[in-house]
Amino acid sequence: MKKEKAVLLGVAAAAGAALGGAAVYLKKKNICPRCEIKKALSKTKIHYSKDSLYNNGTCAVPPMGWSSWNLFKNKIDENVILDIARAMKISGLADAGYVYVNLDDCWQSSMRDENGRLQGDLTTFPHGIKWLVDEVNAMGLKLGIYSSNGTFTCEDLPASLYHERTDAETFAEWGVEYFKYDFCHNVPLPSKAPFIDSILIGGAGISREEEYSAQNAVLTGEAKLVKEDGGKSYIKGLCSGIGAAEFKGITVPEDGEYVLTIVMRKSDSKDKFCQVTVNKTDKYGILIPPTKAFSREGRLQLVVKLKKGENTVELTNPVGSAADSAAMQYEKMGAELKRATALYAEKNNCEEKPILFSICEWGKNRPWKWASKAGNIWRTTPDIMPHWASIIGIYEVNVRLNKYAGPGAFNDPDMLEVGNGDLTVQENMSHFSLWAMMAAPLILGNDIRSFVKEDGTCDNDNKILNILKNEEIIAVDQDKLGIQCVRIKSNGVADVLVKPLADGSVALCFLNKGPVKVNVKCAVKDILNLASVRLPSAQSYNCRDLWEKTEQEISESVEAGVEPHGVRVFKLSAVK
């Protein structure tokens, strides 16, 4: 036998022996190896399967407005916000489409009020947020607000995890119309599930709790009835989405709310989570703390809606991965916002003011895969900064995500830095154009008060203001097809982007990321090849430069010089 072959056989024999040993060990410890493999795989996937868009009617095209964070950070107060709103009107930005005035972090007091509700900082927002909403609405603008999907915000102020219903109701009562939900101090949902003994139904019209025992549940996946030493059996294997237990034939006399009690075996010192699905549609979640008690069994209670006659109750824990947890927590807040605005309108007999839901978990859990089901827009990247490297770094991530955007649901590469830091005029124009090409939210982050002159009129010559008010670039962003541009060419320095528009034309952008001027050329046939493009094939095309405001007729290709860190943006339409 050759030496290498002998070595290989030796290694295989040793591995076999090790595996055999591991199997004996796992069996002794009552651990199911298949379940362990499934749990490990579950951590790498997203199990989010809801297939409809969040769609609350707020975001057919990307939102436009201003936010306090990029410029003011924690130094905000109601006077600054009102000055900004006034400047939005005077500068003509409001007429150009910028309508949201968004409070970012640091609007809140560190104390919730006596009813457990969030409240504005007691000294910087002395009139309260409802008053501010009314003032901003009176100017024809909308107010946005901020919290975190965590126990505190990024500036360590009270936040909305575990307070979703109360906070959504508060925002709806105040009349807020935009809600950014950050991810600081998040506590992920655990992927462990409790061991189930039985479920009990009590409450309305039922004199005694009725028991449905584990033995009668239909078990799927890795869910199993396991007998313990004391002789009692429990359902195990419901964690990480690998198994489910369904109780059928749960009969109640009338439609209504009932108390569902889950009797669980207190097992170990890990956090657990159980999702209850009633009649395949209504979902409820219960968090279970690590076990410290003396007694063996615990009662977990929920009030659930049941219908007259037979019902089903399914128990599982679908959380396999960090992304599952984030998706479920954001989905919960999104559902509470919808519920709260509808409820407020019903109670007050007024028109519903839906709240645009902006998910901000910085792209950590691939939100482009699930966030359109939970909210309207989702951050795809870490925080932007006012320099070229940050803008291009963010662009490089976001530009690849074009297939996930569409009407009602947009990638959010973060708020604009146009007018901030040391960005050159060229860089500001490029930043603005790229965000428009990517159908990104246009949320300004600069000091728009500087657009108002001392005499209270608009500074029409302001270069930054004129960038932000370029109506043809805004129209590219706001196009009702809601398609994010496709990058059709890149040589590492120069990129060519194409965005189909609703009138059958296309927006074409040449970007120069580098420090020296370049010449860029794009053949019309490369644009026509794109599936989403509706531009008809023609003898010649009108090519309008959306910054220079000039036009030329071209037939086969568009060619242009692009300044360092610059862009050229054209609108291409067929000549009839």
Question: Which parts of this chain interact with ligand GLA (CB under 6 A)?
Answer: 69, 104-105, 153-155, 182, 360, 362, 383
Widest CA span of the chain, in angstroms? Answer: 97
Backbone angles phi, psi at 210, to 5 degrees: -100, 135
Could you tell me where the beta strands, DSSP code E, fall in 338-445? 356-359, 377-379, 410-412, 442-444
Closest to ligand GLA by CB, 265 vs 379, is: 379
Round to whole Å and give the CA distance between 184 and 514. Answer: 35
Closest to ligand GLA by CB, 360 vs 527, is: 360
Smallest distance, ligand GLA to C-beta of residue 66, A: 13
Smallest distance, ligand GLA to C-beta of residue 104, A: 5
Closest to ligand GLA by CB, 378 vs 388, is: 378
Smallest distance, ligand GLA to C-beta of residue 153, A: 6
Smallest distance, ligand GLA to C-beta of residue 464, A: 21
Round to whole Å and give the CA distance between 279 and 255. Answer: 13
Closest to ligand GLA by CB, 383 vs 563, is: 383
Smallest distance, ligand GLA to C-beta of residue 157, A: 9
Looking at beta carbons, which residue is closest to ligand GLA?
154
Smallest distance, ligand GLA to C-beta of residue 413, A: 12
* 3 state SS of 206: strand
Smallest distance, ligand GLA to C-beta of residue 448, A: 18
| Beta pairing, strands 142-148 & 100-102 | parallel
Beta bridge partners of 275: 285, 316
Closest to ligand GLA by CB, 74 vs 213, is: 74
Cβ neighbours of residue 63 under 8 Å, at least 6 residues apart?
Answer: 100, 178, 356, 358, 376, 377, 441, 442, 443
Round to whole Å and give the CA distance between 196 and 246. Answer: 11
Written as one string, the DSSP assignment of 310-351 is: EEEEEEE----SHHHHHHHHHHHHHHHHHHHHHHHHHHHTS-
Closest to ligand GLA by CB, 154 vs 276, is: 154
Backbone angles phi, psi at 62, to 5 degrees: -60, 145
Cα distances (angstroms) measured from residue 294 to each of 226, 274, 319: 22, 22, 28
Smallest distance, ligand GLA to C-beta of residue 73, A: 8
Closest to ligand GLA by CB, 177 vs 314, is: 177
Helix or strand holding residue 389 (H, E): helix 388-398
Round to whole Å and give the CA distance between 10 and 16. Answer: 10
Closest to ligand GLA by CB, 87 vs 159, is: 159
Closest to ligand GLA by CB, 250 vs 360, is: 360
CA atoms within 13 A on the CB side of 416: 30
Round to whole Å and give the CA distance between 3 and 122. Answer: 80
Smallest distance, ligand GLA to C-beta of residue 183, A: 8
Closest to ligand GLA by CB, 153 vs 402, is: 153
Smallest distance, ligand GLA to C-beta of residue 414, A: 7
Closest to ligand GLA by CB, 58 vs 70, is: 70
**DSSP letter assigned to residue 278:** E
Place of tokens 């990517």: 438
For residue 473, give the nearest of 133, 116, 119, 62 by alpha carbon. 62
Smallest distance, ligand GLA to C-beta of residue 111, A: 19
